[in-house]
């Protein structure tokens, strides 16, 4: 399955999303895919292409979002500016580009690793501290979130030095130096979503440990799908044994 079109949601070259359409022409649920890569410019949305194609083959409209990352204008605040803007405006832009193809009441965020962090964060923007530029007055219009091996706790990830200091690069320092930045961006500090949230995580993940997912889900009430003998990248591989669990999680959010 090939990209149907690429839609710009801003003026920067990385403020775009690749759109994948299913074979049927009826309105379909819209799945936003947010790729991982520890928020760094070295990894872009091509990393998520097999995942996006597989979701489209299942009958979903898929928008694979690019965003500015550390090294190309991202980090604080650009990465968060882009994630918020993309998720706010793309439903309308997609409807304008391909009228009648999406069901506006059935939208899901799916993110892997750093993208999983952004997906969780984006669904909680109505809980951001007062004055945070990305705060919304009402809950974002999303039916559910599937977070695949997410960086669900930025304070924890900082202290563990996950990604060799990736959180410090993203936010410009640690939680003791910049507590207000962590308060505005860390899903673990923002409370519980009132929509289905499913975290899928492998117990052999060497990049973001399963303990982070267990603690996040215990605190937030999100559902945890813990996969034995599974690492970090199997979750975005449609040929892996983990993939059916990812699909099932998405269906629980949308179907």
Tell me what pLDDT residue 170 has: 98
Express each pLDDT in 139-188 by its tens digit. 999 999 999 999 999 999 999 999 999 999 999 999 999 999 999 999 99
Residue 55: predicted pLDDT:
98
Q: Kind and range of the H or E element at 103?
A: strand 102-112
Is the C-alpha dihedral spanning 165, 168, 174, 177 positive or negative?
A: positive
- Write the pLDDT tens digit of every residue in 101-137: 999 999 999 999 999 999 999 999 999 999 999 999 9
For residue 75, name the pLDDT band (cuts at 50, 70, 90).
very high
Give the pLDDT confidence score for residue 255 in this predicted structure: 77
Please compute the mean of the pLDDT values over residues 241-253 and round it to a whole number: 98
Report pLDDT for 1. Answer: 74
Using CA of residue 158, residue 85, residue 66, residue 117, what is the dihedral sign? positive
41 pLDDT band, cuts 50/70/90, is: very high
- Mean pLDDT across 20-38: 97
Q: In what order do the strands lie in the sheet with 5-8?
A: 5-8, 16-20, 61-65, 28-34, 102-112, 144-148, 197-202, 223-227
| DSSP annotation of 73 | T
Pairing of strands 61-65, 28-34: parallel
Domain ranges for the chain, please list them: 5-254
Local structure of residue 202 (DSSP, 8 states): E
Q: Please measure the distance between the N-terminal and C-terminal CA atoms of the chain and give it in whole angstroms.
A: 23
Q: Could you give the percent of the chain with pLDDT greater than 70?
A: 100
DSSP summary character for residue 114:
H
Q: Confidence band (pLDDT; 50, 70, 90) for 234?
A: very high
DSSP per residue, 14-72: T-EEEEE--SS-S-EEEEEEE--STTBTTS-GGGGHHHHHHHHHTT-EEEEE----BTT
Tell me yes or no: is domain 5-254 CATH 3.40.50.1820. yes
């Amino acid at each position: 399955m090939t990209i149907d079109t690429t839609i710009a949601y801003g003026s920067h070259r990385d403020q775009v999303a690749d759109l994948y359409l299913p074979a049927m022409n009826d309105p379909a649920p819209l799945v936003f895919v947010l790729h991982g890569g520890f928020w760094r410019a070295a990894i872009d949305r091509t990393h998520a292409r097999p995942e996006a194609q597989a979701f489209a083959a299942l009958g979903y409209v898929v928008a694979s979002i690019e965003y500015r990352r550390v090294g190309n204008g991202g980090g604080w605040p650009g990465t968060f500016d882009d994630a918020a803007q993309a998720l706010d405006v793309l439903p309308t832009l997609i409807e304008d580009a391909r009228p009648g193809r999406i069901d506006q009441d059935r939208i899901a965020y799916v993110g892997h690793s750093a993208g999983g962090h952004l997906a969780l964060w984006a669904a909680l923007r109505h809980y951001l501290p007062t004055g945070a530029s990305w705060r919304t007055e009402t809950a974002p219009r999303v039916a559910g979130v599937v977070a695949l091996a997410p960086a669900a706790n930025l304070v924890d990830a900082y202290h563990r030095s996950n990604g060799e200091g990736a959180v410090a690069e993203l936010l410009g320092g640690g939680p003791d130096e910049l507590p207000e930045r962590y308060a505005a961006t860390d899903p673990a500090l923002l409370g519980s979503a009132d929509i289905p949230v499913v975290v899928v995580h492998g117990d052999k993940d060497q990049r973001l440990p399963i303990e982070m997912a267990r603690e996040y889900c215990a605190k937030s009430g999100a559902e945890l799908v813990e996969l034995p003998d599974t690492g970090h990248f199997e979750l975005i591989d449609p040929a892996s044994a983990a993939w059916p669990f990812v699909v099932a999680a998405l269906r629980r959010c949308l179907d």
